[in-house]
Amino acid sequence: MLAFGGGCQGCAAVDLTLKEGVERTLMERIPELGGIRDVTDHTDTTNAYYR
């Protein structure tokens, strides 16, 4: 499970970043990893880059 903060919090592209960037890289480096799940509350835009 991952929780994004800062600029990723509330970003519309976070799903793409998560699947095509973070998950792909982690699964290449940790073969036994089955996947990742985003547990970020994207409705909270307190620290978001864009509001």
Q: What is the pLDDT of residue 10?
A: 65
Where b means 16+ CB within 10 Å and e means fewer, 11-29 reads beebeeebeeebbeeeeee
pLDDT digits (tens, 9 = 90+) for 8-39: 666 777 778 888 888 899 999 999 999 888 78
pTM (2 d.p.):
0.62
